[in-house]
């Protein structure tokens, strides 16, 4: 039976449409980035959110807790190192000022400069010296001015407690410099025109310069030791965190992932992400 023109047009249009669909499915979509993106759009798969595995949490819970605790201890010790470093810097500055004061007193004693000229400079250095003691703090903790001790973070002996281990800690101790233990403030606050007072000041300044230099060295070495201790603690925390990850069980598939894999397997190459 002969086909009408309309019937022939319908057959040709349908065949052309089927050919185009076959070409798109088997040539353009398959293996191309566009095809992969379109397949994901067709599937409508939401971004994968890892599910918490209760078994993993139970197995690795203690390790992860220890890693967090030791990591916090490392940060505490690092803070202690910074605190001691602040004190070391301040004491070093004090040593330099004491040395400058001694040079002025020596110059007056030798007759190289008059007491009238040297006294204002000497007094300004003395005031700066006191200011360093009064203002040297770390996060609100006074480090040199023992007159302000104790506070809630430093005791009357200049001790600051550092939680350096999960169940233990230690004290970082600071020496007060507002009294005459290291710097004889009364003697160095001298009238340079008075020979007796000047001689006593020179002796006291020499002793204080040596004492502050020694104290600055002690603080510097203590800072280095604390920084090394903090690095060791951080390394321990990192190892525990790695151990926790290593002990995790192999993640199991969620129900959604199992269903999706079955769907892909049964729908052919168009839906198969491996094609």
Q: Assess whether the previous peptide bond of 150 is cis (omega < 30° from 0).
A: yes
Strand ranges, E, within 51-193: 137-138, 141-142, 159-165, 168-173
Range of the domain at 213: 68-246
In a domain? residue 73 = yes
Residue 4 CA to its chain's centroid (Å): 84
In a domain? residue 133 = yes
Query: Which has more pLDDT, 48 or 68?
Result: 68
Residue 62 CA to its chain's centroid (Å): 24
On whether the CB atoms of residues 78 and 138 are closer than 8 A, the answer is no
In a domain? residue 205 = yes
- The CATH number that applies at residue 219 is 1.20.1330.10
In a domain? residue 39 = no
In a domain? residue 63 = no
- Integer Cα distance of 203 and 187 in angstroms: 9
Query: Which has more pLDDT, 244 or 29?
Result: 244
Domains held by the chain: number: 1
Residue 15 reports pLDDT greater than 70: no
Q: Any residues with CB less than 8 A from the CB of 81 and at least 6 apart, and which? A: 223, 224, 226, 227, 230
Residue 22 reports pLDDT greater than 80: no
In a domain? residue 35 = no
* Global confidence as pTM: 0.70
Query: Once rounded to an integer, what is the mean pLDDT over residues 21-31?
Result: 56
> What average pLDDT does the structure give for the chain?
82
160-195, pLDDT tens digit by residue? Answer: 999 987 778 999 999 999 987 899 999 999 999 999
Residue 273 reports pLDDT greater than 50: no
34-62, pLDDT tens digit by residue? Answer: 556 555 655 555 555 555 566 666 667 78
In a domain? residue 89 = yes
What pLDDT is stored for residue 148 in this prediction? 96
In a domain? residue 6 = no
């Amino acid at each position: 039976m002969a086909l009408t023109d309309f019937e022939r047009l319908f057959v040709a249009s349908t065949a052309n449409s089927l050919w185009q669909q076959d070409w798109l499915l088997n040539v353009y979509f398959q293996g191309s980035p566009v095809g992969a993106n379109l397949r994901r759009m067709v599937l409508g798969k939401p971004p994968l959110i890892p599910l918490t595995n209760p078994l993993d949490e139970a197995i690795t819970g203690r390790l992860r807790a220890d890693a967090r605790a030791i990591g916090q201890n490392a940060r505490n010790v690092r803070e202690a190192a910074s605190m001691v470093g602040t004190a070391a810097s301040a004491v070093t500055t004090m040593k330099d000022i004491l040395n400058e004061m001694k040079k002025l007193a020596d110059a007056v004693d030798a007759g190289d400069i008059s007491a009238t000229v040297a006294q204002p400079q000497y007094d300004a250095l003395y005031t700066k010296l006191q200011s360093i003691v009064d203002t040297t703090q770390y996060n609100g903790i006074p480090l040199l001015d023992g007159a302000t001790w104790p506070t809630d973070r430093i005791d009357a002996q200049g001790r600051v407690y550092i939680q350096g281990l999960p169940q233990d800690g230690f004290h970082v101790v600071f020496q007060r410099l507002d009294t005459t233990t290291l710097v004889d403030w009364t003697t160095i606050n001298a009238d340079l025109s008075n020979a007796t007072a000047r001689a006593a000041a020179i002796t006291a300044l020499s002793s204080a310069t040596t004492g502050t230099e020694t104290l600055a060295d002690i603080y510097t070495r203590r800072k280095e030791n604390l920084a090394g201790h903090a690095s060791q603690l951080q390394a321990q925390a990192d190892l525990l965190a790695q151990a926790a990850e290593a002990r995790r069980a192999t993640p199991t598939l969620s129900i959604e992932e199992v269903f999706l894999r079955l769907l892909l397997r049964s729908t052919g190459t168009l839906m198969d992400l491996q094609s």
